[in-house]
Amino acid sequence: MNLILKFIGIFLIILNFTSISYAENLIKFINVDKIISETNIGKELLNKINNLDQNNIDKLKSFEKEIQDMQNDINQKKNVISEQQFKKEVDNLKKNISDFNNQKNNMVKELNEIKNQELSQFFEIIKPIIQNYMNDNSIDMIINSKNIFIGNKNSDLTNDLIKEINTKFPKWQN
């Protein structure tokens, strides 16, 4: 009887290890940057962010030109105006430079907030599409390709997901 229990115990242990070795987790990867840049909604997102960035750059260049003109004007008046007037204009210039730097920092901060908000919205929109794709193809996990050292090209789902997203959203309007 003791021998039979040992045999059953060993059999169960062997059976347990073999089932683990046959278990398969299907892990694939995608290039998230490529999905953003090549899907219709991703292109519109990037276009929106680039337009906002370009508007900010134009505003800052205009303000910078004003400061440059003020500085040139002060340099031309330097020998003509009184010491107090010169100091007053230099202080005004310093204030404008400080305002410029504050405005620039605020624009960068605002742009980053908008970019993060838009990217979050983008991922919320495509998440159900990717989840359905994973369910249909029995995929357990998808990893960003930036975090992979090397992988089989057959495990790259980027182009398939781009087609899937573009099929669901041929034209996107926020």
- Residue 10: the pLDDT is 67
- Residue 147: the pLDDT is 82
pLDDT in tens, 4-27: 656 566 666 665 665 444 446 788
Place of tokens 């573009």: 166
The SS3 of residue 76 is helix
Q: Which residues contact 74 (CB under 8 A, 6 or more apart)?
A: 86, 89, 90, 93
What's at 147, amino acid-wise? N
Q: Mean pLDDT per segment of 10 residues, for the chain of length 174 residues?
A: 62 59 71 93 93 93 91 83 86 91 94 94 94 91 85 87 90 58
